[in-house]
Amino acid sequence: MVDVTAGWAWGYCRADHRVGYVEAIELVAPFEATHVVIEASAPVEAGADLLSPTLTGLPMGSRLSGEVQGALLRIEAGFVPLSYLRRVGHYEEDPVAAAQRLLGVPYRQGGRTIQGVDGPGLIQLALRQCGTPAPREADLQTALGEPVPDGATLRRGDLVFCAGAPGLMVDDQLVIHITPDTGKVSIEPLRCLPSEGLQRRRLA
């Protein structure tokens, strides 16, 4: 945080250094996270029993601090089932599988939640589930990994950029991505005209 004026805080997100404003009332003291949400949305329940109502949902990538009680994580706001979470420092191996949990989420420029996501946000969420830091902007994401060698077949997990829009290869033919044209996170055959400047990057 750099400045607070009239109830709004201006600063940058520590995760990706994107500058912007948030309502100052939303800011909390730093805490040491113990768990991260891995599903598209994780329910926060009022109590620890099966009949407890759901109070709200937390989007993928939310970092939580709490105490494990059986199959639940008790946090300040309620109880979250552990099946929606992973421990901090325990990473997934397949970013495509993480991205697939957001299938059908609508397009929203600048979004990064189940309420709406854009192409760079989808890539950033999926890679971070696997412990790979990724910038928030598509043009900066083109520097991730290494170029796929000329003539090499694309494989699962490769990053592709068509007309600047990012996606993750599901296999050698299909890509998971979201653009204003698709309107939602979807899996489609990779189609990129030569004039659209296909870029191919391999993370490992």
Residue 145 pLDDT more than 80? Answer: yes
The predicted pLDDT at position 18 comes to: 76
Residue 48 pLDDT more than 80? Answer: yes
Rounded to a whole number of angstroms, the distance between the first and last alpha carbons of the chain is 35
Distance CA 30, CA 10 (A): 17
pLDDT in tens, 148-189: 998 899 999 999 999 999 999 999 999 999 999 999 999 999
Residue 13 pLDDT more than 80? Answer: no
> Which are the contacts of 83, defined by CB distance < 8 A and separation ≥ 6?
71
Residue in the block written with tokens 């939640």:
113
DSSP 85-147: EEETT---S-HHHHHHTTTTPBB-TT-EETTEE-HHHHHHHHHHTTT----SSHHHHTTSSEE
Q: What is the DSSP letter of 194?
A: G
Q: Which domains does the chain have, with CATH numbers?
A: 1-28 (no CATH), 35-87 (2.30.30), 95-202 (3.90.1720.10)
**119: closest CA among 63, 172, 159?**
159
* H or E, element range at 119: helix 119-128
Q: How far out from the chain centre does Cα 158 lie?
A: 17
29: confidence class by pLDDT, cuts 50, 70, 90: confident
- Phi and psi torsions of 77, nearest 5°: -90, -10
**18: closest CA among 136, 141, 138, 164?**
136
The predicted pLDDT at position 1 comes to: 53
The predicted pLDDT at position 22 comes to: 82
Task: Please name the amino acid found at residue 150.
Answer: D
Average pLDDT over residues 105-111: 96
